[in-house]
Structure 1
Amino acid sequence: MSVLGSLTRRLGHHEWFGATMRLLVPADRIVGRLTRGRVVALGLVPSLVLTTTGRRSGQPRSNPLLYVPDGDGYVVIGSNWGQQHQPGWAMNLLARPEAEVDVRGRRLAVRAELATGAERERLWQLLVTEWPAYRTYVRRAGGREISIFRLVPTGPART
């Protein structure tokens, strides 16, 4: 891991970090879209661009997210930087689990599976190994159960 990546993981616990990163998400979204998922989060953490269908608008909504690989799938978490409400993309997946991811220049159709029970705990361990600040986000979220999704490919990758 790079020095900058290590520093980012340490800073992730601070409230100001989450507030600052929320402001940078629109720029990260644009960069991710332009590079088709090759450059997201400045390459500091494993990231993908998730495109869901808006539950009210029906329009595509893209969000850069940290992920951890799990077999042929990808694990993402609706931490929302520790805010007390679910992120919109998580609500979109709950309403319609079909989505797409752009990761490392490949676009894949996926189906989101909400993790529960022992599977949720297993995936949680993978997530906090990659981004320890998720433990801090759980405390900040004020008792909200943070959704964990496993994104399972449903078709071949496109470039």
Structure 2
Amino acid sequence: MTDYRRHYRPGGIYFFTLVLADRRQEWLVSHIAALRQSFLEEQRRAPFALQAWVVLPEHCHLLMRLPEGDSDFSTRLRRIKGDFSRQLPLPANLRQSQVAKGERGIWQRRFWEHAIRDEEDWQRHMDYIHHNPVKHALVERVCDWPHSSFHAYVQRGVYPPDWGWAAEVEMAAGE
């Protein structure tokens, strides 16, 4: 079995990628209200700042800042994924091992995590998150994808409304 090592840093900022087990499904956008509710519920239970996010049909990217003295992102993500999964109908194709573990087979068991190192790394991941729907050819312009924090950043004047349209934006974050 692979030995996953996570970098837990109290008060850290992290980039995450969460992916559905069946990437052919579009549950995240078709059940966006349930996903948002799962995030809000977890923020009430264990506060964190969601600095940036994008939800695509079968995966999502997050930029999360944890409170000072708190490094437990794993529990937060586990509960968000579990809460969302319980709001969906039980899939018919569950394996016996999933049933035995109380899993619903909605999400991949693991997630991609990257501890943000500095301001440049933070900006690179912000751009990657917001440009992701264009990268996956879901829209031609970043502003046309509704399930993203990009729109809030435009309102605050951080990004211009036409950011990411014409020029290719080179992204260095992992997926």
Q: TM-score range by the shorter chain?
A: 0.3 to 0.5
Higher strand share: 1
**TM-score where L is the length of structure 2:** 0.32
**TM-score where L is the length of structure 1:** 0.34
Larger Rg: 2
